[in-house]
Chain A
Amino acid sequence: MTIKGSAYIAGAFEHPTRLAKDKSVAQLHAEVAVGALADAGLTKADVDGYFCAGDAPGLGPLAMADYMNLKLSHLDSTDVGGCSYIAHVAHAAEAIMAGKCRVALITLAGRPRSEGHSGAVPRIRGADAPDTQWEFPTGVATVNAYAMCAARHMHQYGTTSEQLAWIKVAASQHAQYNPHAMLRDVVTVEEVVNSPLIATPLHRLDCCVVSDGGGALVVVAPEIARSLKRPKVKVMGAGESMKGQMGGEVDLTYSAAVRSGAAAFAEAGVKPADIKYASIYDSFTITVLMQIEDLGFCEKGQGGRFVADGNLISGTGKLPFNTDGGGLCNNHPANRGGITKVIEAVRQLRGEAHPKVQVKNCDIALAHGTGGLLGSRHGGATLIMERE
């Protein structure tokens, strides 16, 4: 049994705000829900399944479902960090296939920019987590956990800061066409490697933005998708996994994408070479490089060569990625970039990306995310979609 073809993404909406000092988190969740339902051509009354993760205020899905006054037959608040919403699409397809719901709403929102969050400041991720006493005292933040992956990749495979910089350069090339993007200036490799070191070997321009905002998706049963006017984006396959420290057998050179990606490709019945557009989680440049290798777009250790020389730039590169500007330039709402990855993939499959970055004949797309910390323990979720 597979979820291939069991559900469609009928609605997708990215909040235009990047700074929401005058809004609440609950309000942002509700506003993106309104936007995604309007995009689908559905109403709140049609929603019978609701998905959210740890960014939603309150206990699991309860507070937001009540705020929006939803009448539900299925709820799911799986939280694997920033990639949760990619997994939610798969979970929604499973629930739809099992007859638990027919119209699933997924929301993400937050205001870390207004609240002054920084990925360079250590914070406790669960005081009762068994790892906290062993790791919080080390000053593990977000950026230095990812930086240790970059340092090891450089040591083991000869990856360079210039190669990592190409990832940011490609994102900036795309962001220049996105009027909502936080950073719209095109940058060069030199500008990236000459920006201040935050946590060696990562520079400021290797890091994603901190932005307020959010996004929502509406996943529906096939008969509902057929009744709607929007182009049809079919769920083809998905995979999820996690990777930690393996009892001390730490290996920082690969991610959970090795398992989630393989599962998604197997379920969809396609290969990396069939992917016309890829949304790849870009919390940091190293995140992109490792995931590209682990998803099978190139061999392990060859990611640096693969991303160099503009290979990720739409129109010229072999693997157009993050054509909205990604987390590196556009948006990383709630410090969780999973939902915007799916949203841009939906735009590409519908042919609704900016004309300057729209991939020609974009029939199959992939969205992949990493949640938590790549350098300590993280979730991975992969989703493959097809235009029908």
Chain B
Amino acid sequence: MAGKERAIPAPMTNPETEPFWAAAREGKFLLRGCTACGKTHWYPRAVCPFCFSERTEWREGSGRGTIYSLSVMKRAPEPYAIAYVTLEEGPTMMTNIVDCDLDSLAIGQKVTVAFKPTQNDGPPFPMFRPA
């Protein structure tokens, strides 16, 4: 397992994204999708980045995904693994892989969402651990 874990800065939320972070506090992983074109995107936004429709909505995500790429930051007081994870629903998101031996991780590995607490009682941040 990893050693001492990095303190995670709190995300600076705004009215457009507040529902995501409120749900995160309840352990729910929301995604934003478009009812016009049907596609789910990341990061969540009010206007669909594919078809530019404003008819977007929150959808609960499965929390399952696959590592698309990763890098272990060795030059940090507490090394951590930044990664892109491709979600079962389609989009790929920047995140961390946690609760694991960082040197054992590989592209293509299956992972599941794990919310991690952030500094100053900020909302928990969606990270992933090996499935």
Contact = CB atoms under 8 A, between A and B. Distances in A.
Tell whether A pairs with B: yes
Interface of A: 120, 127, 130-141, 143-145, 147-152, 155, 196-202, 245-250, 252, 376
B10 to A, nearest CB: 7
B11 A133 contact: yes
B13 A133 contact: yes
A139 B42 contact: no
A120 B75 contact: yes
A131 B94 CA distance: 10
B71 A148 contact: yes
Contact of B76 (A139, A149, A150, A247): A139
A206 B80 CA distance: 20
A315 B9 CA distance: 50
Contacts of B108: 155
B73 to A, nearest CB: 5
Nearest to B108: A155
5 contacts: A139-B96, A151-B71, A245-B94, A248-B40, A252-B84
A140 B82 contact: yes
A149 to B, nearest CB: 7
B55 to A, nearest CB: 15
B17 to A, nearest CB: 6
Interface in B42-83: 42-43, 45, 48-50, 68-76, 80, 82-83
A130 B43 contact: yes
Interface of B is mostly: loop
Contacts of A134: 11, 42-43, 93-94
B73 A148 contact: no
A137 B80 contact: no
B112 interface: no
A141 B68 contact: no
Contacts of A144: 71, 73, 82
Contact of A199 (B40, B71, B125): B71
A150 B82 CA distance: 13
A210 to B, nearest CB: 13
Given A120-B73, A151-B71, A199-B72, A133 B14 contact: yes
Interface centre among B43, B48, B83 (most CB of A within 10 A): B43
B81 to A, nearest CB: 9
Contacts, number: 120
Interface of B: 6, 8-14, 17, 39-43, 45, 48-50, 68-76, 80, 82-84, 86, 90-96, 107-108, 118, 125, 127
B72 A200 contact: yes
Contacts of A135: 43, 94
Nearest to B49: A247
A133 B93 CA distance: 13
Contact of B90 (A120, A245, A248): A248
Nearest to B125: A137
Nearest to A147: B71
Given A120-B75, A143-B73, A145-B82, 10 more contacts: A127-B12, A137-B118, A151-B69, A200-B71, A245-B43, A247-B42, A247-B50, A248-B42, A250-B84, A250-B92
Contacts of A136: 9, 11
Contacts of B45: 130
Contacts of A201: 71
Contacts of A152: 68-69, 107
A137 B69 contact: no
A316 B121 CA distance: 59
Contacts of B90: 248
Contacts of B9: 136-137
B38 to A, nearest CB: 13
Interface centre among A147, A198, A200, A252 (most CB of B within 10 A): A200
Contacts of A202: 71
A137 B8 contact: yes
A155 B107 contact: yes
Nearest to B13: A133
Interface centre among A130, A131, A151, A197 (most CB of B within 10 A): A151
Contacts of B13: 133
Contact of A133 (B8, B12, B68, B82): B12
Contacts of A197: 72, 74-75
A76 to B, nearest CB: 28
A148 B125 CA distance: 20
Given A137-B11, A138-B96, A198 B68 contact: no
